């Protein structure tokens, strides 16, 4: 039986990865942060199957302990301050967790069990102001947020430890991936949650920032499978994981409303753009500049050809299916919330 240690097990990706590894018969250890109220986040439903260890990416001693206790064969670092917007409000914490935290984990592996295989959650945000379309493993980086900058350190320190100490260390350069478990501050889940609330009459307007922004959106379940594949190869390497399709925030909005039979009619432009319910006529989407970012990543498009060829990875969940699942999930959650309010 193999043993895995997941940092970030309570997050979106960590919970899907834990499910995958449990299905494969792994003994799964998960890093959890101490909070005033115990909270297993997205891993609540599998909490009895995971061996939790209290640790923090900024605390080397706690990561050394996590390695000693778990004796993990595979270590997945999915822990991060992962919201780009917050990285301008907490640049130092973001650097400590998403940047130096990676060095802490690599040191813990190197000193406790150097034979362990390591996965680092790198990101398309490192491409930022894109230097090439589509982006591949060879595209130059140009991060546009404190998050992207911190992640770039994590990416390079992973490569450096591979080259310096011959560790089996890989980075997955993952493009945006979403799911029913996505945090509600991210644009996709914010939209699907608002669509469900507007449809069920408990919200009037969805306020968004830059609707021209384009992303390459996949489903997290497909992407955690790629993480596992990267650690099963003969040699460690870095891979882009993406769908090779890009869509604007506006297209996401249209697709999501479409699933609840609301067609959007757009009017105006820039900060004055609004989206009306084409039948009822009332405004249900508008722009609020408070959601604009100090520096934006305008458009991302990833080419996953290397992962498809070398790992045999292929995404299964299409964009319409991703949106359908997220809207369906939020429709059910909001209906349940309304039922509870009535009781």
Q: Which is nearer to ligand F7E, 22 or 93 (CB)?
A: 93
CA distance linking residue 114 with residue 125, whole number of Å: 29
Residue with tokens 């509600």: 184
CB-side neighbour CA atoms (13 Å) of 121: 28
Residue 10, interface with ligand NAP (CB under 6 A)?
A: yes
Please give the residues from 314 up to 333 whose contact with ligand NAP meets the rule CB under 6 A.
none
Q: Which is nearer to ligand NAP, 63 or 195 (CB)?
A: 63
Using DSSP bridges, classify how beta strands 274-277 and 283-287 pair: parallel, antiparallel or unpaired: antiparallel
Per rule CB under 6 A, count of chain residues that contact ligand F7E: 23
Q: Which of the listed partners (ligand F7E, ligand NAP, none) does 190 bind, with a CB threshold of 5 to 8 Å by partner kind?
A: ligand F7E
- At residue 182's C-alpha, the angle toward residues 62 and 12, to 5°, is 35
Known active-site residue 3:
no
Instruction: Single out the residue of 82, 87, 158, 243 in contact with ligand F7E (rule: CB under 6 A).
Output: 82
CA distance linking residue 249 with residue 259, whole number of Å: 16
Task: Convert 190-225 into a string of H (helix), E (strand) and C (coil).
Answer: HHHHHHHHHHCCCCCCEEECCCCCEECCEEHHHHHH
Stretch of residues binding ligand NAP (CB under 6 A), selected from 9-17, 131-139, 156-164, 302-310: 9-17
Residue 88, interface with ligand F7E (CB under 6 A)?
A: no
CA distance linking residue 144 with residue 151, whole number of Å: 11
Q: How far is the first Cα of the chain from the last one, in angstroms, to the nearest whole number?
A: 47
Catalytic choice (19, 74, 125, 180): 125
Instruction: Single out the residue of 32, 105, 152, 187 in contact with ligand F7E (rule: CB under 6 A).
Output: 187
In the complex, least distance from residue 70 CB atom to ligand F7E, rounded to whole angstroms: 25
Residue 183, interface with ligand NAP (CB under 6 A)?
A: yes
Q: Which of the listed partners (ligand F7E, ligand NAP, none) does 7 bind, with a CB threshold of 5 to 8 Å by partner kind?
A: ligand NAP
Known active-site residue 239:
no
Residue 7, interface with ligand NAP (CB under 6 A)?
A: yes
Q: Are 219 and 283 spatial neighbours (Cβ–Cβ below 8 Å)?
A: no
Stretch of residues binding ligand NAP (CB under 6 A), selected from 56-64, 157-165, 195-203, 260-268: 56-64
Q: Are 118 and 169 spatial neighbours (Cβ–Cβ below 8 Å)?
A: yes
3-class secondary-structure state, position 289: helix
Residue 97, interface with ligand NAP (CB under 6 A)?
A: yes
Show the tokens assigned to 281.
């006529």
Show the tokens assigned to 285.
């989407």
Q: Which is nearer to ligand F7E, 27 or 120 (CB)?
A: 120
Q: Which is nearer to ligand F7E, 4 or 84 (CB)?
A: 84
- Helix intervals (H) in the chain: 12-23, 60-70, 86-89, 91-94, 101-112, 146-165, 187-199, 220-230, 249-258, 305-306, 319-342
Nearest to 78 by CA among 36, 24, 21: 21
CA distance linking residue 109 with residue 71, whole number of Å: 9
Catalytic choice (10, 94, 123, 192): 123
Stretch of residues binding ligand NAP (CB under 6 A), selected from 80-88, 109-117, 197-205, 311-319: 80-88
Q: Which of the listed partners (ligand F7E, ligand NAP, none) does 215 bind, with a CB threshold of 5 to 8 Å by partner kind?
A: ligand F7E
In the complex, least distance from residue 151 CB atom to ligand F7E, rounded to whole angstroms: 7
Known active-site residue 123:
yes
What are the residues binding ligand NAP (CB under 6 A)? 7-8, 10-14, 31, 33, 41, 56-58, 78-82, 97, 121, 123, 174, 176-177, 183
Catalytic residues: 123, 125, 147
């Amino acid at each position: 039986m193999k043993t895995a240690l997941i940092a970030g097990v309570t997050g979106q990706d960590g919970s899907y990865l834990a499910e995958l590894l449990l299905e494969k018969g792994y003994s799964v250890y998960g890093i959890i942060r101490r909070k005033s109220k115990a909270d297993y986040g997205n891993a609540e439903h599998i909490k009895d199957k995971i061996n939790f260890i209290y640790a923090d990416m900024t605390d080397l001693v706690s990561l050394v302990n996590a390695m000693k206790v778990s004796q993990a064969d595979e270590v997945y670092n999915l822990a991060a301050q992962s919201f780009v917007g917050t990285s301008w409000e907490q640049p130092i914490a973001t650097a400590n967790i998403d940047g130096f935290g990676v060095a802490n984990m690599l040191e813990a592996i190197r000193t406790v069990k150097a034979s362990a295989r390591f996965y680092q959650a790198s990101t398309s945000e490192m491409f930022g102001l894109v230097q090439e379309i589509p982006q591949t493993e060879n595209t130059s980086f140009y991060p546009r947020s404190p998050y992207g900058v911190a992640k770039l350190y994590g990416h390079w320190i992973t490569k450096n430890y591979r080259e310096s100490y011959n560790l089996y260390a890989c980075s997955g350069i993952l493009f945006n991936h979403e799911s029913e478990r996505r945090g509600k501050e991210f644009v996709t889940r914010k939209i699907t949650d608002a669509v469900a609330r507007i449809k069920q009459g408990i919200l009037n307007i969805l306020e968004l920032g830059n609707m021209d922004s384009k992303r390459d959106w996949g489903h997290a379940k497909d992407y955690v499978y790629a993480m596992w594949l990267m650690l099963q190869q003969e040699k460690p390497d870095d891979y882009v994981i993406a769908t090779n399709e890009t869509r604007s925030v506006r297209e996401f909005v249209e697709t999501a409303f479409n699933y609840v039979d609301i067609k959007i009619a757009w009017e105006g432009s820039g900060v004055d753009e609004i989206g009306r319910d084409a039948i009822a006529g009332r405004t249900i989407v508008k722009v609020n500049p408070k959601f604009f970012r100090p520096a934006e990543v305008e458009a991302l498009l990833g080419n996953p050809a290397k992962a498809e060829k070398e790992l045999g990875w292929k995404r299964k969940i299409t964009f319409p299916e991703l949106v359908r699942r997220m809207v369906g999930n939020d429709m059910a959650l909001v209906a349940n919330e309304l039922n509870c309010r009535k009781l």
